[in-house]
């Protein structure tokens, strides 16, 4: 009787342990929301090169800030999963520089005057995203992703020159396209961090926080 009880208890422990071993952090029906920032911003870097010939130049910005959702829709027999979701991005850059211009002065004729021009570039990204999760364990999730959507871009120019040009127009219109490979690590059942390499919102690297629901 004791032997039978021991065998039953041992079998139960094996079943429970096997169930826990199969527990993964991303599966069909899992929702993961990530919030991160990309770096370096290659578009901002190109603007620094573009404005490098101006005097007293300054190129600063915020972003890209990237929000993503990933919902598990399919799980294959071999354990891999497919997810789908949305992408929202925000990026803004401010470029300022000083320049001189001839101005007519009734008292002294034409003289040089210093002015400051400021250009603001803003991009809002809205897109869809698909993910293929090829290695998923209890705390680690490795995946590849592609994204497609559109950008809402504006360029706002102001100047202290009363005769200068001021305008606000839509520019850099085009598709949002992204392709990355990433990894998530969960410290707890619902909270973790992530990082992705590839191309997304004009950056090759992004990292941030992950929340699982």
DSSP 34-95: EEEEEES-HHHHHHHHHTTTSEEEEEEEEEEEEEEEEEEEEE-TTS-EEEEEEEEEEEEEEE
Given this model, what pLDDT does residue 113 score? 75
Q: Which residue has the higher pLDDT, 53 or 197?
A: 197
Cα-to-chain-centroid distance, residue 38:
5
**CB count, 10 Å around CB of 54?**
14
Q: Which range, of 15-19, 67-71, 171-175, averages the lowest pLDDT?
A: 15-19
What is the band of 5 on the pLDDT scale with cuts at 50, 70, 90? very low
pLDDT at residue 105 in the model: 63
CA distance readout (Å), 26 to 37, 139, 167: 22, 9, 48
Query: What is residue 138's predicted lDDT score, i.e. its pLDDT?
Result: 94
Rounded Cα distance between 18 and 58, Å, is 59
138 prior amide bond cis, ω within 30: no
| Beta-bridge mates of residue 140 | 185
Report the pLDDT averaged over residues 128-157. 95
Report pLDDT digits (tens) over 80-95: 999 999 999 999 999 9
The residue ranking higher by pLDDT, 34 or 4, is 34
pLDDT exceeds 50 at position 57:
yes
The dihedrals phi and psi of 127, each to the nearest 5 degrees, come to -155, 170
- Identify any residues that bridge with 86 across adjacent strands, giving them in sequence order: 128
Among 41-50, 101-110, 111-120, 177-186, the least confident range: 101-110
* pLDDT exceeds 80 at position 59: yes
* Whole-number Å distance between alpha carbons of 169 and 157: 9
Q: Highest-confidence range of 15-24, 118-127, 157-166, by mean pLDDT?
A: 118-127
Lowest mean pLDDT among 15-24, 92-101, 104-113: 15-24
152 within 8 A of 186, measured Cβ to Cβ: no
Q: Residue 16's pLDDT is what? A: 38
pLDDT at 11: 42
Higher-confidence residue of 169 and 172: namely 169
pTM: 0.80
């Amino acid at each position: 009787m004791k032997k039978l009880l021991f065998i039953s208890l041992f079998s139960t422990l094996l079943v429970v342990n096997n169930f826990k071993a199969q527990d993964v952090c991303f599966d069909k029906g899992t929702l993961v929301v990530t919030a991160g920032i990309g770096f370096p911003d290659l578009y901002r870097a190109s603007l620094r090169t573009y404005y490098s010939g101006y005097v007293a130049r300054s190129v600063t910005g915020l972003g890209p800030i990237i929000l993503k959702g990933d919902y598990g829709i399919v799980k294959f027999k071999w354990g891999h999963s497919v997810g789908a979701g949305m992408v929202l991005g925000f990026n803004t850059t401010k470029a300022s520089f000083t320049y001189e211009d001839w101005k007519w002065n009734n008292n002294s004729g034409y003289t040089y005057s210093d002015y400051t021009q400021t250009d603001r570039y803003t991009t809002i990204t809205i897109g869809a995203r698909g993910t293929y999760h090829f290695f998923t364990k209890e705390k680690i999730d490795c995946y590849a992703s592609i994204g497609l959507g559109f950008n809402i871009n504006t360029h706002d120019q102001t100047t202290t020159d009363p005769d200068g040009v001021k305008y606000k127009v839509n520019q850099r219109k085009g598709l949002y396209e992204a392709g990355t490979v990433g990894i998530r690590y969960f410290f707890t059942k619902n909270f973790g961090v992530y990082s992705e390499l590839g191309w997304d919102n004009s950056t090759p690297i992004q990292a941030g926080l992950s929340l699982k629901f």
